[in-house]
Structure 1
Amino acid sequence: MILRKLSIINYKNIRETSIDLSPKMNCFIGHNGAGKTNVLDAVYYLSFCRSLNNPIDSQVICHDEPFCVVEGTYDDEHENEEHIYCGLKRGVKKHFKRNKKEYKRLSEHIGLIPIVVVSPSDTLLIDGGGEERRKLMDLVISQYDRQYMTLLTNYNNALQQRNILLKQENPGPDPTLLQIWEEQMAEAGEEIYRRRSAFVTEIQPLFQQFYTQISSGCENVGLEYLSHGQRGPLLDVISRDRAKDLAVGYSLHGVHRDDLIFTLGGRPMKREGSQGQHKTYVIALKLAQFELLKRTASHTTPLLLLDDIFDKLDAGRVEQIVRLVSGDAFGQIFVTDTNRTHLDAIVGSTASDYRMFEVDNGNIKLLTAHV
């Protein structure tokens, strides 16, 4: 999928812009806070019907403005045109349309325009809790597996109902109702576990290949999936410790406790390595996601968004990343940086199309273009 034209009105600090994009490399240069990341966030919104960093829709609308609009005109793999429209108005349900036809459910849109984002907030994948790493799995799998979001919804609903029952006192929850919700948790949870396990199995070799290339083979990294689903039938795992769950008032077992274990040299990544090694790990993981989506998401090449990725990386790793993303393996790329040297290195190493934009206080200006 290629985004040919992006139009924005009142999205964060971008008041109004309409830009024609390169089918290969699009670079955005500007100071911190200028609005570079907001451009990428608008592109992300058109894929996921929400902002990358802010779950509250009303907060993506420019201050003192009543509405915002983001529109994208795309070409698919067969050069068919796709037009995506999103309109937000304060206090009103948002409108999301594909080729002027409004979606009944936003979940129908997920996966049409697969996307991978590498951003500074990715450090939470290493420093944060298991929730961040579960989100990572869910975000990727939902782009190529249409049933996955329904499974997550069913599981989370059953989990919520079970937790409500577990908090009941005098005389306590009805065992029959607990059993019903446990069975529903287990039914959806088994499928979620199976899909997450398959995802990790597929992404492991891709991840290690990218890490080896970026680090020039200097380090040994690992990626392991940890789940209560590995302990046997999930219904048994959930129900056998019911007494403990009643004592604490919530569910201690299930796929909502899944995690990914990141290692460097056989030790937990969280306690090992430099900031540069942490960043290399995350970038390699995201590039592996890109390769996996390219193979699975309706055979559509994802968009790749690289937001300020070169900070804290040594020159050797920057060079390897530039070489990677400038090659033919990737499709359309959006990259931001405060340092034009990095962006010049990227466009200088590719013979394909590129466009260089300057972003200043939400205003976007084309600097250079090569066709």
Structure 2
Amino acid sequence: MRVAHLTLGDFRNYGAAELPLSAGPNLIVGRNGQGKTNLVEAIAYFATLRSHRVTGDTALIRAGQQSAIVRMRVRSGDREVRLELQLNQGRANRAQVNGNSVRPREVTRWFSAVAFAPEDLIIVRGEPSGRRRFLDDALLARHPVAAGALADYDRVVRQRTSLLKSARSRGQSALATLPVWDDQLVEFGVQIMLARRELVRDLGGPLHDHYQELVGSDHAPTLRVVESVVEAIPQSDVSRETLSIESSANVSRETLAAQFREALALLRSREIDRGVTLVGPHRDDLALSLNGLPVKGYASHGESWSFALSLKLALAELLRAESTAGDPVIILDDVFAELDSMRRARLMSAVENYEQVIVTAAVESDVPNDVPWRRMRISAGKVQHDADAGIDVGVSEDRDNTEGATVRGSATPSQGPGSSPFEEDE
């Protein structure tokens, strides 16, 4: 899979921009603040429907405008699909696939990318919310249908929490509908928990291998989901320590649902007192370790960076193995500046065989020079192409055809149906 062309309208600092891209390694060079990261941010947005830099879409719309348009042509073999998103101020976003209106989350079925950025250090050094975000973005990449369960779960948590807060002022009568919200919390929460367990299980081996390749030594990196549901049940103290990742991923939906309900019952009075939903995937964490010690607080800056990069490389390998439409697009946003020369070479070696790699850099000497780059330069929001870029800069199709696109072959979603813990929504 690769991005053939990106078109921006009123996105970030771009009033209008056209970015043709080729297969293989693409290098976007520009001084800080010129807009190179905005380009790859727009590409990555199609994979997760959110920015890796900010919360919410408001900052993505150019100042003074009410909406932004992002169009992308994606190719897989001889097939091509055209994706379009309209990000709106104060109203729902809109989306199209090949000129047909769809729900925005449908576009994630057609495009897969793994982005590496300086912000990824938050995964290993930041708060649990950053690790939950990594897990959920990874679930969306692996199972695009997860978007429905994640959105429904978030809605239920908000509604249930609002109900718990109202009980403090209105009394127990306000809790008459709480069992209904409990049922939905368990239904969607169990889907997410099972999918996260499977993800963590399947990332373990590739994480170990990529860390060893990147660093040149075996520091035994491991990861484990820390679940608030399991933590809340006292009698699970022993099993929590002894249950393997493999076994936890194979727990039945019914067993996990029963545990979830038990945890809710145990914490019912505390939830009412505090007006907060205390258990569920929104309260979980991802425990990351090197040589048996937590990465956060014990690992050096270099080790932390290597862990974060290896985790993303593991995800890319997993998506590559499972996709029906080819490799995920690899995005390296200003990452090489954070690495020494050895890690730069090893990181490039790990991704160079992917169908498309898009790299941004402020200083061209930061990136390995033995790579056949297709170079583009960004200055004050303008895209300039090197004469030897070897890519087609014709943009008439994207610029003129706003309702439909020429589709070559029969485009298919990036991820096949496969085995998924998520129920397909209508």
TM-score by length of 1: 0.90
**1:189 matched residue in structure 2:** 189
1:44 is aligned to 2:44:
yes
Residues 305 and 333 in structure 1, CA contact (< 8 A), matched pair in contact too: yes
CA distance in 1, matches of 2:70, 2:163: 42
User: Which of 154, 157, 160 is matched with 2:155 structurally?
Assistant: 157
Alignment of 1:68-147 (within 5 A): 68-77=68-77, 79-88=78-87, 90=89, 93-103=92-102, 105-147=103-145
Residues 200 and 225 in structure 2, CA contact (< 8 A), matched pair in contact too: yes
**2:367 matched residue in structure 1:** 343
CA distance in 2, matches of 1:10, 1:154: 30
- Which has the higher mean CA deviation after the structures are superposed, 108-117 or 217-226? 217-226
Aligned residue type for 1:289: L
CA distance in 2, matches of 1:191, 1:47: 21
Q: 1:126 offset after TM fit, Å?
A: 1.9
Per the alignment, do residues 184 and 313 of structure 1 end up closer, same or farther by CA in structure 2, a change over 3 Å counting? same
1:109 is paired with a residue whose SS is: helix
CA distance in 1, matches of 2:66, 2:171: 51
Per the alignment, do residues 239 and 158 of structure 1 end up closer, same or farther by CA in structure 2, a change over 3 Å counting? farther
Residues 336 and 367 in structure 2, CA contact (< 8 A), matched pair in contact too: no
**Structure with more relative contact order (C-alpha pairs < 8 Å, separation 6 or more):** 2
Alignment of 1:1-371 (within 5 A): 1-65=1-65, 67-77=67-77, 79-88=78-87, 90=89, 93-103=92-102, 105-167=103-165, 168-169=167-168, 170-174=170-174, 176-230=176-230, 231=236, 233-326=259-352, 328=353, 330-345=354-369, 348-349=370-371, 354-367=373-386, 368-369=388-389
Residues 320 and 328 in structure 2, CA contact (< 8 A), matched pair in contact too: yes
Q: 1:297 offset after TM fit, Å?
A: 3.7
Q: 1:56 offset after TM fit, Å?
A: 3.8
Q: 1:173 offset after TM fit, Å?
A: 4.8
Q: 1:36 offset after TM fit, Å?
A: 1.0
In structure 1, stretches of 5+ residues that fail to align are none
Aligned residue type for 2:272: L
Residues 70 and 85 in structure 2, CA contact (< 8 A), matched pair in contact too: yes
CA distance in 2, matches of 1:142, 1:189: 15
Aligned residue type for 1:139: D
CA distance in 1, matches of 2:181, 2:56: 30
Residues 166 and 173 in structure 1, CA contact (< 8 A), matched pair in contact too: no
CA distance in 1, matches of 2:155, 2:94: 25
Residues 226 and 258 in structure 1, CA contact (< 8 A), matched pair in contact too: yes
Aligned residue type for 1:267: L
Q: 1:90 offset after TM fit, Å?
A: 4.9
- Which has the higher mean CA deviation after the structures are superposed, 315-324 or 228-237? 228-237
CA distance in 1, matches of 2:367, 2:375: 8
CA distance in 1, matches of 2:106, 2:156: 22
- Which has the higher mean CA deviation after the structures are superposed, 208-217 or 135-144? 135-144
Provide, for residues 256-295 of structure 1, a one-character-per-residue CA deviation record: whole Å limited to 9, x for no partner. Answer: 2111111122111110122221111111101111111122
CA distance in 1, matches of 2:65, 2:179: 50
Q: What RMSD, in angstroms, separates the aligned Cα atoms of the two structures?
A: 2.2
CA distance in 2, matches of 1:248, 1:204: 37
Q: 1:311 offset after TM fit, Å?
A: 2.8
- Which has the higher mean CA deviation after the structures are superposed, 264-273 or 205-214? 264-273
Per the alignment, do residues 159 and 239 of structure 1 end up closer, same or farther by CA in structure 2, a change over 3 Å counting? farther
Per the alignment, do residues 157 and 315 of structure 1 end up closer, same or farther by CA in structure 2, a change over 3 Å counting? same
Q: 1:93 offset after TM fit, Å?
A: 4.5
Aligned residue type for 1:275: H
In structure 2, stretches of 5+ residues that fail to align are 231-235, 237-255, 392-426
Residues 111 and 144 in structure 1, CA contact (< 8 A), matched pair in contact too: no
Q: 1:206 offset after TM fit, Å?
A: 0.7
Aligned residue type for 1:234: F
Residues 238 and 254 in structure 1, CA contact (< 8 A), matched pair in contact too: no
Per the alignment, do residues 93 and 225 of structure 1 end up closer, same or farther by CA in structure 2, a change over 3 Å counting? closer
